[in-house]
Amino acid sequence: MRMLLAIVVCKLLRFIGKRVGKGSSLPGKFALKICPDVLRRVTLPPCIIAVTGSNGKTSTVEMIAAILRRSGKKVIYNAEGSNQIEGVTTLILCSSTLGGKMRGDVLLLESDERYARLSFRWFHPTHFVITNLYRDQLTRNGHPEWVYDAILPAIHPDTTLVLNADDPLVSCFANGRDNVKWFGLERCSVSTDKPQGVYDDGARCPVCRGKMEYTCYHYHHIGHYRCPACGHARHTPDFAVTALDLDAGKLTIDGGTEIELAFRSIYNVYNILAAWSVCSLAGAEKEAMAAVISNYVLKNGRMVRFTLGGYHGTLLTSKHENSVAYDTNLGYIRDRKQDCEALIIVDAISRKYFTGETSWLWDIDFDLLDCPQVKRVLLCGKYVHDLAMRFDYTGIPAEKVVCYDTVSQAAGALEQDGGGELYVVTCFSDRDKLLNLVKLEQ
């Protein structure tokens, strides 16, 4: 009876919420108050896929959904990204019959890395994909090992883990388990012998703190590693990108299937591979997967094109407090090899909470913009002085760097003078401050 009431209330609140533009967590919150163990009582689909990690969750989940739908499966997933227990509850109950049977063949969840254990207290995924663990939102997450410790209790012994073999910390989730599948990138054109970036979180073995040895790095601490002291080492992947040509926008999976990249970044490669791996395990056919993933353009809108005066602009949404996300986009700008200007905005550090924390700026490799084709770098926002100070410690000549106190001042200056390609790097918290001042391309 309580389950029925919880489902009815959840559906009703969601119906009303959609009409007044409210988020998806409130209905689940009420349902959990009515019936705290409702997630144990409902009957879930036979395949439950969860995806967690620092970066790439949303993109990976979106591609998994697209592939499995093409494969004829009915997929229920939290496209709105409400990835804590309340949002998950809303999703499940609103997709269930009043008798508590969830419709669909696959329940697909983007799971918040810190709160996964709450969601999975009542049920557990059949497949749990863990993409990577980086420095991300230290203000909320502490540090990657703290997040590791938070995810660990969420993992059920019966769940098949689908892990990034190239991440030494993520690999630790496999310790003491047999039901693990690995995905990874073989040495390829992007691999380097030395670590890239400002810091090296792969320097020390996460198990014993011995000096880690890498035969190659793909980016940051992601690569082919081995600890001589304790033997913690990269596993041979079950699913691998065996060739990659980012310039040509092509990758090969398992030596046979060629995929074209709509977005030519190493991070996209890993997201595609993660989606490919778990979809294979869920029974998708190679041909169907390749057809969907090839040239797949993500719908999550993190890249926005616009015009501003004489500029043709591309906004690359990063996440403040996430140096890897920034490095992704700065690397993208560098790799385009076309003359351009770059605008960096740090005004509100988060859209969800207040903080004045700016240490993450020192973890970003802004030297990626120290290349001839980047003609000018504009900095703006409330924390422009923190940004400017950080840029003083790069190799970028001071005369290339211009500062503005506000986004509108920077936009006004750009509108009045100059033209060409403009890349904007900023966070969800700040991007609309610019997008409200430009003409969006459809």
Partner 1 sequence: MELNILHVYPDLMNLYGEYANLAVLRRHLEALDVEAHIRTALLEDAPDFDTVDMIYMGAGTERGQKAALTALTPYAGKLKEAAGRGAVLLFTGNAMETLGASVTDADGKVWPGLGLAEYTTVETKKRVATDIVASSTTVPATSVGFMNKCSITRGVVSPLFDSLSSGFGNEEDCGPEGFTLGNVFATHVTGPVLVKNPVFTDLIIQRLFALRGWDLPEKLPVLPHEQEAHDVTLEELSQNGDRQKASLE
Give yes or no for residue 389 binding partner 1 (CB under 8 A): yes
Residue selected from 172, 233, 388, 413 as contacting partner 1 according to rule CB under 8 A: 388
> Of the candidates 203, 230, 248, 440, which one interacts with partner 1 according to CB under 8 A?
203
d(C-alpha 182, C-alpha 235), whole Å: 7
Smallest gap, in angstroms, from Cβ of residue 115 to partner 1? 14
Q: Which residue has the tokens 């791996």?
A: 277
- Total residues contacting partner 1 by CB under 8 A comes to 34
Q: How many CA atoms lie within 13 A of 231 on its CB side?
A: 1
Is 354 among the residues that bind partner 1 (CB under 8 A)? yes
Among residues 144, 168, 197, 331, which is the contact residue for partner 1, using CB under 8 A? 144
Closest contact distance (angstroms) between CB of 140 and partner 1 is: 7
Who contacts 351 (Cβ-Cβ below 8 Å, separation ≥6)?
427, 428, 429
Question: Closer CB to partner 1, residue 92 or residue 344?
Answer: 344
Is residue 81 within the footprint of partner 1 (CB under 8 A)? no
Select from 93-101, 200-208, 245-253, 309-317 the region that touches partner 1 (CB under 8 A): 200-208
313: contact with partner 1 by CB under 8 A? no
Helices (H) and strands (E) in the chain, counts: 15, 18
The whole-angstrom distance between residue 21's C-alpha and the CA centroid of its chain comes to 25
Give me the half-sphere count of Cα atoms (radius 13 Å) on the Cβ side of residue 336. Answer: 18
Three-state DSSP state, 39: helix
- Report if residue 296 touches partner 1, rule: CB under 8 A: no
Answer for which of 80, 145, 285, 432 binds partner 1 (CB under 8 A) is 145
Question: Which residue in 233, 176, 180, 186 sits closest to 205, CA to CA?
Answer: 233
The verdict on 361 binding partner 1 (CB under 8 A) reads yes
Q: Judged by CB, which is closer to partner 1: 156, or 385?
A: 385
- Least Å distance between CB 21 and partner 1? 26
Whether residue 300 contacts residue 62, with contact meaning beta carbons closer than 8 Å, is answered with yes
Burial class (CB in 10 A: 0-12, 13-18, 19+), 409: middle
Interface with partner 1, residue 351, by CB under 8 A = no
Smallest distance, Å, CB 362 to partner 1? 3
Q: Considering the complex, what minimum distance in angstroms separates the CB of residue 196 from partner 1?
A: 15
**Which of 355, 406, 408, 409: binder of partner 1 (CB under 8 A)?**
355
If the CB atoms of residues 135 and 264 are measured against partner 1, the closer one turns out to be: 135
SS3 content of the chain, % helix, strand, coil (to 5): 35, 25, 40
Please tell me whether residue 36 binds partner 1 under the rule CB under 8 A: no
Judged by DSSP in three states, 325 sits in: helix
Residue from 30, 123, 362, 428 in contact with partner 1 (CB under 8 A):
362
Nearest to 363 by CA among 222, 196, 235: 196
Q: Which residues of 142-180 are buried (b: 16+ CB within 10 A; e: fewer)?
A: eebeebbebbeebbeeebbbbbbbbbbbbbbbbeeeeeb
Q: List beta partners, residue 380.
A: 345, 404
Residue placing its CB nearer to partner 1 in the complex, 186 or 365: 365
Exactly one of 393, 395, 436, 440 binds partner 1 (CB under 8 A); that residue is 393
418: Cβ contacts below 8 Å, ≥ 6 apart: 309, 310, 311, 341
Residue closer to partner 1 by CB (options 37, 145) is 145
Q: Are strands 180-185 and 239-245 parallel, antiparallel or unpaired?
A: parallel
Residue 370 interacting with partner 1 (CB under 8 A): no
Min dist CB 414 to partner 1, Å, is 22
Among residues 146, 338, 373, 432, the one that binds partner 1 under rule CB under 8 A? 146
Binding positions for partner 1, rule: CB under 8 A: 135, 138-140, 142-146, 198-200, 203-204, 209, 211, 354-363, 382-383, 385-386, 388-389, 392-393
